[in-house]
Amino acid sequence: MSDILETGGEQLLAALRHVLEGKGIATTDEIQERMAVTDAANPGQGARMVAKAWVDPAYRRAMLQDGAAAAEAIGIPMRGMPPLGVLENTPETHHLVVCTLCSCYPRAVLGYPPFWFKSAAYRARAVRDPRGLLAEFGTLIAPDRKLRVIDSTADYRWMVLPMRPAGTEGSSESELASLVREGDMIGVTVPAMRALQGEKR
């Protein structure tokens, strides 16, 4: 039965590609290229953006103004992707990204969403009890620090620019990028110095 379903799915995909090409919307090569770009996307791409923003004030400003253009500037393909907004965490404000309807995610810069991002529990808790949710990830937000929950949609995707950890002065961009985890760019966790210290031992 699974073989039949797989064959049927392949036939449907081939038919869709044929229609798109026939209408001049996209060629088979363009579709294959887009699929390859999507499959190659991973959190390391977003981490490169974060690390560059930490060391380059001009890039940071550009990233906050237009995330997609900033991604393109360092070689991350964004053609055909929704606009990308970047939210900067500060000592006064922490951002948390959620998609309340489904699993809209900045895949071009973070890859496929983690399983929990798509769960109904995460989506509900992020809105109803964001501080409690973050505490379960080990992220404690001070009561006097503002917590903004941002809804990612099919029309506009969001990622977080986390604060640079103290004690990383003089570190290279690649070293800084190694500190940044996927959760840091969604806002459920924050970068920690311990990863870099471990590398330098």
Residue 6: how many CA atoms within 13 Å on its side-chain side?
3
What three-state secondary structure class fits 157?
A: strand
Active site residues: 99, 102-104
Which residue in 191, 169, 195 sits closest to 180, CA to CA?
A: 191
The DSSP H or E segment spanning 85 is strand 84-88
| CA dihedral over 187, 87, 115, 128, signed as positive or negative | positive
